[in-house]
């Protein structure tokens, strides 16, 4: 049995953390849906930067702007191209969406990363993208900055599917879940339906270990003898512990009395989606962040290399429902070692916003250069 497909037997949906025009046109995505049980797609500015700036697959589409009556704007051109890909992927995944009654079959499109600290602009662009894509199985991605969380609540209240991304801390995750419930409660008070509204909370994993392990290495360099053992025991463990504590909160909140009225009205829990699940440390298993986080009603969005690795040698079994006491103990031990997990996760959030912003700027620059070259060629040959 295909290990990727088998994950669904344990309650976990596999989404693909990648999109590019070639996979849509070649039939690769259709094959992955059929053979691997792929149930969704996520995208982000870095993924689109690689897809559009790093290939010629979009050049024919960009060429149409050369014949336009006005000079094209790079941001406008990007969203035109991205929406074409998102719509094509959403159409291919629509049977999954229908069969799962809106549980899966989702495709995510992110708002501009330069809006991460602007609530109203995020809401406005999200609504515009929702209308332009015009697919029921679209998810708008919004960053989990404080401003983004407020925008998220407003969008849920408007009935928009939302993927809240760049989540690193359990505390911020709690704010996101509260915003989800508040948005649904707002709809219910106004007599609006709360069924068929889907949301995931994209909780980043491997980046946490990368940051924490570096700090542990610094302390190990200064420690000696028995003082080293507790530190060694935390390497490669905190990201998983952090994720398990988030899942513990998920179970507490969505099985609570507060959510029961919403559930009776047809609302579904916001699922945790494990993101950043590619292994960055070569000393760790290349499927570490899949094997250790398998559990009911979760999603793992898997980058291409990890997707291939898990298909080759993944061993699905439920791993998320145990080890919670150990996770608490590991986080407590980290604090005792003088490492502030909250500070690290805040730094990772800040860096994530900056990284996506840089990718977006690079992407727009590459599109602008292609448009300029096209216009120059038109002038020379016209």
Helix (H) or strand (E) holding 371: helix 341-381
Residue 158's CB is within 10 A of a number of other CB atoms, namely 17
Question: In degrees, to the nearest 5, what angle opens at C-alpha 279 toward C-alphas 273 and 283?
Answer: 145
Task: Write phi, then psi, for 138 (nearest 5 degrees).
Answer: -90, 140
Q: Which region, left, alpha or beta, applies to residue 219 given φ > 0 means left and ψ of -120 to 50 means alpha?
A: alpha
CA–CA separation, 288 vs 284, rounded Å?
A: 7
**Residue 124 CB coordination number (10 Å):** 14
Contact between residue 88 and residue 58 where contact means Cβ atoms under 8 Å apart: no
Q: Residue 4's Cα: distance from chain center in Å?
A: 18
Distances (CA, A) of 276 to 152, 248, 290: 21, 20, 10
- Measured from the Cβ of residue 216, the count of other Cβ atoms closer than 10 Å reads 24
141 is catalytic: yes
CA distance 272 to 160: 17
Among residues 50, 71, 94, 141, which one is catalytic? Answer: 141
Phi, psi of 58 (to 5 degrees): -105, 0
Beta bridge mates, 15: 301
d(CA 307, CA 63) in angstroms, rounded, equals 33
Tokens of 327: 């996770």
Q: Which residues are catalytic?
A: 141
């Amino acid at each position: 049995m295909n290990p990727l497909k088998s994950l669904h037997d344990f309650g976990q949906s596999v989404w693909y953390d990648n999109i590019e025009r070639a996979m849509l046109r070649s039939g690769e995505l259709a094959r992955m849906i059929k053979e691997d049980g792929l149930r969704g797609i996520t995208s982000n500015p870095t993924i689109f930067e690689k897809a559009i700036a790093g290939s010629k697959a979009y050049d024919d589409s960009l060429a149409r702007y050369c014949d336009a009556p006005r000079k094209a704007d790079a941001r406008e051109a990007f969203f035109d191209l991205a929406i074409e890909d998102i719509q094509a992927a959403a159409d291919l995944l629509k049977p999954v969406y229908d069969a799962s009654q809106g549980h899966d079959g989702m495709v995510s499109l992110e708002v501009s990363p330069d809006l991460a600290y602007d609530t109203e602009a995020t809401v406005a662009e999200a609504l515009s993208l929702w209308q332009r894509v015009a697919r029921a199985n679209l998810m708008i991605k919004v960053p989990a900055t404080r401003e983004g969380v407020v925008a998220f609540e407003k969008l849920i209240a408007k009935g928009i599917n939302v993927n809240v991304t760049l989540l690193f801390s359990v505390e911020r995750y709690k704010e996101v879940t509260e915003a989800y419930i508040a948005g649904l409660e707002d709809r219910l008070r106004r007599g609006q339906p709360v069924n068929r509204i889907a949301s995931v909370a994209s909780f980043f994993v491997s980046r946490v270990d990368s940051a924490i392990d570096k700090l542990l290495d610094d302390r190990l360099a200064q420690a000696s003898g028995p003082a080293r053992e507790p530190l060694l025991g935390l390497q490669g463990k905190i990201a998983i512990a952090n994720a398990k504590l988030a899942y513990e909160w998920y179970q507490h909140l969505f099985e609570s009395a507060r959510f029961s009225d919403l559930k009776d009205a047809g609302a579904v829990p916001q699922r945790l989606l494990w993101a950043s699940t590619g292994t960055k440390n070569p000393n760790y298993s290349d499927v570490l962040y899949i094997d250790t986080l398998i559990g009911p009603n979760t999603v793992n969005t898997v980058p291409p290399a990890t997707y291939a690795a898990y298909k080759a040698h993944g061993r699905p079994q439920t791993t998320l429902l145990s080890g919670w006491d150990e996770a608490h103990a590991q986080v407590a031990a980290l604090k005792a070692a003088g490492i502030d997990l909250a500070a690290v996760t805040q730094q990772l959030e800040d860096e994530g916003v900056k990284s996506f912003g840089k990718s977006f700027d690079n992407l727009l620059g590459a599109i602008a250069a292609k448009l300029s070259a096209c216009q120059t060629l038109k002038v020379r040959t016209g």
